[in-house]
Amino acid sequence: MKDLLDTMKDINTELQGLNTALDAMEGEKCSKEEAKKAGLIVGKDYVEVKKMKKYYIQDREAGNKIVSLSNEDEAISCLIAYEKSDREEGIYQENFYEIMEIEE
């Protein structure tokens, strides 16, 4: 179990390093070597890194994120499904959920 936890910590550290590298390169041009060090696959003399949009469904009152989705259509469908489920369970509250668009 300890080995698994150590491996997970190592992976988390590597992911944090990759995220830091990607944040540093956002909107900037970098060499192939820099891109490779960040774990990116490139086919040109440089790569331009742009942030991706993510969509979150969250409750309006507290702002608790419930689910993350990759596009707006998925987020809308998911919100409708949550509201439908709430109606079926008898706990529906109008405008309880909201969709937030965030660049990551």
Residue 69 — pLDDT band, cuts 50, 70, 90? Answer: confident
Q: Is the model's pLDDT at 60 over the cut of 80?
A: yes
Q: Mean pLDDT across the stretch 68-96? A: 92
CB-side neighbour CA atoms (13 Å) of 54: 11
Asked whether the beta carbons of 52 and 97 are under 8 A apart, the reply is: no
Does the pTM surpass 0.75? The reply is no
Domain boundaries, the chain: 2-48, 53-103
Which stretch of DSSP H or E encloses residue 29?
A: strand 29-31
Asked whether the beta carbons of 47 and 35 are under 8 A apart, the reply is: yes
